[in-house]
Amino acid sequence: MTDQSNAEKDPSDWTTGDEPATGAQESYLHTLAGEANEEVPDGLTKAEASQKIDELQEETGRGR
């Protein structure tokens, strides 16, 4: 059995995934969205924000 941190788990499996997105997530999302010329919806959960960050990182070539 391997130990997984929250960063490695699917966001939909996070126990806190339905909580509001963190300030850091919101800030990074707006940075990425600006680079991708996209809008970020208000009221995202932590899990939704994480998934949107992953999408925008792929689109902008940032991250991974």
pLDDT score, position 7 = 52
pLDDT digits (tens, 9 = 90+) for 1-56: 444 454 567 777 778 778 999 999 999 999 999 999 999 999 999 999 999 999 99
- 46-60 pLDDT tens trace: 999 999 999 999 999
d(CA 36, CA 31): 9
pTM of the model: 0.76
CA geometry: angle at 45 spanning 48 and 53, to 5°?
Answer: 40
CB 22 within 8 A of CB 44: no
